[in-house]
Amino acid sequence: MARRRDLARAHRAFRNLLFKKKHLTSSAPILQVVFDTPMRQGFDYLPAAGAPPPGPGQRVRVPFGRRRAIGIVAAHAESSALPRARLKQVTQSIDTAPLWDEATFGVLRWAADYYHHPLGDVLFGALPKRLREGAAASREEIVWRLSAAGHAGIAAGARLGSRQRALVALVGEDGEVLAAITAAGHAAELRALAARGWLESFARSAPPPPAGAGRPGPVLTADQGAAVAAVGASLGRFAAFLLHGVTGSGKTEVYLRLIERVLATGRGALVLVPEIALTPQLVARFRERLAAPVVALHSSLADGARLEAWRAASSGSAPVVIGTRSAVFTPMPALGLVVVDEEHDASYKQQEGFRYSGRDLALMRAQRAGVPAVLGSATPSFESLANAAAGRYAKLSLPERTGRAGKPRVTVIDLRVNTARDGLSPPAMAAIERHLADRGQVLVFLNRRGYAPTMYCTGCGWMAPCKACDARLTVHLARARLVCHHCGAEEALPFACPQCGNELAPVGEGTERVETTLKQLFPGAPLVRIDRDVIRRRGDLEEALGSVADGRARILLGTQMLTKGHDFPDVTLVVVLAADQGLFGADFRAGERLAQQIVQVAGRAGRGDRPGEVLIQTSYPEHPLLTSLITRGYEGFAALALEERRAAGWPPYAHLALLRADAPARADVYEFLEAAGAATPDARRSRVRILGPAPAALARRAGRHRAQLLVESPARGALQAFLATWVGAIAALKPPRALRWSLDVDPSEVD
Ligand code: ADP
Ligand code: ZN
Ligand code: ZN
């Protein structure tokens, strides 16, 4: 309970601070306004005279320096550090109601506090671009058009001032102009032309998005039924569930059944998924099954479509929202259920700017809205398993695959005795041949793009380095380029060693090289490769997946793009080529990630009457990570790994924050971090330890040196109390302009 208690306490303290009871005064409230900037402080304004004061969560236009800016009212206050007479007035209220429902606005405020990130950046970052720019938040908009009198007047050549003429041109002869334009500086002309009867207004509302087909689902298995019943019994109050089910065990069916029940009560559901672009069929499945409008929110939406989806969600006209991590901030008036699919996925963590965990905030959102949250995964994060073990989450299991043969057989291939040729060991080649001959499909997994990870000189040992990073360039043979996978720098493939003129050889293998090998070995088996180098445009993935689904492709080769969401029913063999990459990662989560990758990719194989086979190539077959994963299974492995983390004081048994800094000059970075480390308010008393500065795993990237301080505490509350004062001290340090720093609370990687 500790974590939730801590969160609840932090939340109460924060709310008391915000809504501190104050004696009533007759004067207008002072508006604390935040802006679309990473500035930490807000600014105080007065409401426009005679107008009702805009409430928290509403957008306003205000004078800001020499220009006007759009801000969001964060809170009302009674007093300001400035005398009232010096406060400027709001120029215009954009919204008549808050942009977010109360629970969601509460989550945003809480998140700014918890992640110690400027509230303005948090609030604006949660909005579609069009809303940041001032578009109307409601689907119902006041629209202006030229009246009959206006048309007649123009036809008659009536005289207009230049500003009025500009507005008429904007409206156009047959066109319409949205109310938002009034805000863009045409208010006076609009009023004048309306008074003259030239312009008339009307309300326009967009039609609701189409409802799904409402097709019935299959009869649930006993395990699915139990899961639906357990969550269903908690509708109407907060409860957290961990739904652990292997790929294809019917988790999505459980979500759908629960959403149907929620819809029947007049409420809606928020479903978070890691990457919609990789799972286009998921949204289609929701639309087909549910008899209610479903909107999808993800990064590849155009601005207009995103705004429409947001409006449909916030008005309640689309009660089901499927989205990637930032969709957790979508207002929904009658939320009834929160689902986080593949909750272990690293993409729930935003790694730049406002660094938050969409998964964790989804739980907070469910808690605030008083609705259940379901976290589903075939490979739950170790945190979630620990939460389930501690009784914070109720655990639901779907151990069986629906309509499938048993678990795949997993075998380790020792690369020390089975020398690989271009990445493939003889036993792996033999297995591929066997499965192809049996009309099975084969999936080959290698989490490395390109032809080879290094270009090596056979004469002097030179290895093509990136000039801007502490990293080697990856060989991309088909494009004849050397590419840095960290900063994107490219150069032409050299013919000879620039140092000694000797011959160069690509060393190691990526998917491009393995593709060549597989095509040579199995010329009769059509191959599709799936990685970011070949899947570039919308439609590429559908095309590739289509050829797998209809059986044209016999061999499927790819990176972790393959491990996400898709099901390959006819795949009978999975080969994991280079498990070793993950065995020795410096990060405390490296083992967890590797286990998840192996289990996820293995879970794509075998169904129907044909059991799957999984081969893992490694030079370290006795590595405890691999042996425990194979002998004890994912949960057994997790239990062991969690014991190790407890002993070593890693999350979830410790709470971390990372202060990262980077700059072109190495000395600047370390000077800043030393100063930050010294600017600590009595760290010992608050049970907080600071480690570092230490170089980042990639100590130089894109010409910038990178280092960090790690802050750790056994108690989340202590860490939070410390960070709250520390972040102010850091902000006051005034480092050189070229230095960038960021605070990452609950970082997903620490090396
Ligand atoms: P997951 O989300 O765990 O990968 P899905 O819900 O997508 O699993 O189910 C996998 C496949 O099994 C899908 O094709 C789905 O339609 C089917 N399925 C799910 N539940 C059942 C059931 N109770 N009876 C028959 N088929 C089912
Ligand atoms: Zn050389
Ligand atoms: Zn680079």
pLDDT in tens, 424-457: 999 999 999 999 999 999 999 998 999 999 999 9
The Cα–Cα gap between 729 and 321 comes to 40
- Nearest residue (by CA) to ligand 1, atom 9, is 250
The arithmetic mean of pLDDT across residues 54-81, rounded, is 94
* Contact in structure between 357 and 347 (CB atoms under 8 Å): no
- Eight-state DSSP code of residue 739: -
Q: What is the pLDDT of residue 148?
A: 83
pLDDT-wise least confident of 56-65, 172-181, 507-516, 665-674: 172-181
Q: Given pLDDT bands bounded at 50, 70 and 90, which one contains residue 486?
A: very high
656 or 14: which leads in pLDDT: 656
Edge to edge, the sheet with strand 704-713 lists 689-701, 704-713, 655-663, 740-745
How many angstroms is it from 606 CA to the middle of ligand 1?
14
Angle at 485 between CA 695 and CA 586, to 5 degrees: 40
Give the H/E segment covering residue 740.
Answer: strand 740-745
Can the peptide bond before residue 209 be classed as cis, meaning omega within 30 degrees of 0? no
* Whether the Cβ atoms of residue 193 and residue 167 lie closer than 8 Å to each other: yes
483 alpha carbon – ligand 3 mean position (Å): 8
- Give the least confident one: 130-139, 152-161, 464-473, 552-561: 152-161
Return the higher-pLDDT residue of 701 and 625.
Answer: 701
Which of 417, 421, 428, 496 is CA-nearest to residue 462?
Answer: 496
Residue 613 has φ and ψ, to the nearest 5°, of: -130, 140
| Distance (Å) from CA 589 to ligand 3 centroid | 24
Specify the ligand 1 atom closest to the Cα of 224.
23
Let me know: does 38 contact 56? Beta carbons within 8 Å: no
Centroid of chain to Cα 269? 18
Cα separation, 554 vs 566, in Å, equals 16
* Neighbour count for residue 217 (Cβ, 10 Å): 14
Centroid of ligand 3 to alpha carbon of 489 (angstroms): 5
- On the question of pLDDT at 4 being above 50, the answer is no
504 CA → ligand 2 middle, Å: 8
CA-nearest of 351, 406, 342, 347 to 374 is: 342
Angstrom distance (rounded) from CA 504 to CA 694: 35
Question: pLDDT digits over 599-647, tens only?
Answer: 888 887 766 566 689 999 999 999 888 888 888 889 999 999 999 999 9
More confident residue, 41 or 693: 693
pLDDT recorded at residue 17: 45
Strands 571-576, 655-663: parallel, antiparallel or unpaired by DSSP? Answer: unpaired
Global confidence as pTM: 0.86
Nearest ligand 1 atom, CA 219: 23
Q: Give me the pLDDT at residue 708, please.
A: 97
| pLDDT number for residue 406 | 63
Taking the C-alpha atoms of residue 693 and residue 710, their distance in angstroms, rounded to an integer, is 8
Measured in Å, residue 486 CA sits from the centre of ligand 3 at: 5
First to last CA, the chain: 29
Report the C-alpha gap between 322 and 294 in whole angstroms: 7
Give the mutation target among 220, 252, 278 for probing the ligand 1 site: most ligand atoms within 8 A of CB.
Answer: 252
Please give the Cα distance from 613 to 623 (Å, whole number): 21
Q: How far is the CA of 500 from the centre of ligand 3 (A)?
A: 23
Question: Where residue 408 falls among pLDDT bands split at 50, 70, 90?
Answer: confident
When pLDDT is averaged across residues 415-420 and rounded to a whole number, the result is: 93
Quote the ligand 2 centre to 459 CA distance (angstroms). 5
Beta strands in 298-408 (DSSP E): 320-323, 335-341, 372-377, 394-398
Q: What is the CA radius of gyration of the chain?
A: 29
pLDDT 10s digits, 258-303: 999 999 999 999 999 998 776 677 888 999 999 999 999 988 889 9
For residue 511, the surrounding DSSP H or E stretch is: helix 511-521
Identify which ligand lies nearest to the alpha carbon of 600.
1
- Ion ligand 3, residue ranges at CB < 5 A: 466, 468-469, 484, 486-487, 489
Of residues 600, 541, 17, the one with CA closest to residue 278: 541
**Mean per-residue pLDDT, 491-511:** 94
Q: What is the pLDDT of residue 18?
A: 45
CA pseudo-torsion sign 24, 25, 26, 27: negative
Mean pLDDT of the chain: 89
313 phi/psi in degrees, rounded to 5: -70, -45
By alpha-carbon position, which residue is closest to atom 18 of ligand 1? 250
pLDDT score of 105 more than 60: yes
What number of other Cβ atoms are within 10 A of residue 69's Cβ? Answer: 16
pLDDT digits (tens, 9 = 90+) for 305-318: 999 999 999 999 99
Helix axes 280-289, 251-264, angle to 10 degrees: 40
Other beta carbons within 10 Å of 518: 22
What percent of the chain shows pLDDT beyond 70? 91
Mean pLDDT to the nearest integer, 731-737 = 92
Residues less than 5 Å from ion ligand 2, measured at CB:
457, 459-460, 462, 497, 499-500, 502
Distance from Cα 5 to the centre of ligand 3, integer Å: 44
Distance 505 CA to ligand 2 centre (A): 11
Closest ligand to C-alpha of residue 568 is 1
In this structure, the residue with its CA closest to atom 5 of ligand 1 is 250
Residue nearest to atom 14 of ligand 1 (CA): 248
Q: Counting atoms of ligand 1 from 1, which one is nearest the CA of 378?
A: 3
| Closest C-alpha among 580, 722, 591 to residue 650 | 591
Q: Tell me, what's the pLDDT at 674?
A: 96
Angle, vertex CA 584, rays to CA 583 and CA 590, nearest 5 = 70
CA distance 678 to 437: 66
Look at the block and give the residue holding tokens 């990457």. Answer: 275
Pick from 201-205, 556-560, 732-736: least confident: 201-205
Percent share of the chain, pLDDT over 90: 66
**What band does 484 get if pLDDT is binned at 50, 70 and 90?**
very high
Instruction: Please state whether beta strands 140-146 and 67-77 pair in parallel, antiparallel, or not at all (unpaired).
Output: unpaired
| 474 CA to centre of ligand 3 in angstroms | 10
- Among 253, 281, 290, name the best residue to mutate to test ligand 1's pocket (greatest count of ligand atoms within 8 A of Cβ): 253
Q: Is the four-CA dihedral 517, 518, 521, 527 of positive or negative sign? A: negative
Lowest mean pLDDT among 65-79, 175-189, 426-440, 600-614: 175-189
Residue 25 has a pLDDT of 43
pLDDT of residue 1: 39
Residue 462 has a pLDDT of 95
Q: Please report the atom of ligand 1 found closest to the CA of residue 255.
A: 6
Phi first, then psi: give them for residue 719, nearest 5 degrees.
-60, -45
Under a CB-based contact definition with an 8 Å cutoff, are residues 77 and 30 in contact?
yes
Nearest residue (by CA) to ligand 1, atom 25, is 218
Q: Which of 256, 402, 600, 604 to mutate to test the pocket of ligand 1 (most atoms within 8 A of CB)?
A: 402
- What pLDDT does residue 602 have? 84
Atom of ligand 1 nearest to the CA of 253: 6
Q: Which atom of ligand 1 is nearest to the CA of 245?
A: 3
- Write down the pLDDT at residue 352: 92
Task: Please say if the pLDDT value at position 556 is more than 90.
Answer: yes
Question: What are residue 117's phi and psi, to 5 degrees?
Answer: -120, 145
Residues with CB under 6 A from ligand 1: 218-221, 224, 245, 247-253, 402-403
> Whole-angstrom Cα distance, residue 511 to residue 602?
18
With bands split at pLDDT 50, 70 and 90, how would you rate the model's confidence at 331? very high
- Give the ligand at the shortest distance from the Cα of 469: 3
* Overall average pLDDT of the 552-570 stretch: 86
Contact present, 623 and 583 (Cβ < 8 Å): yes
Which pLDDT belongs to residue 252? 94
Cα 401 to ligand 1 centroid, rounded to whole Å: 8
Residue with CA at minimum distance from ligand 1 atom 15: 250
At 572, which helix (H) or strand (E)?
strand 571-576
Yes or no: say if 448 and 476 are a contact pair by the CB < 8 Å rule: no
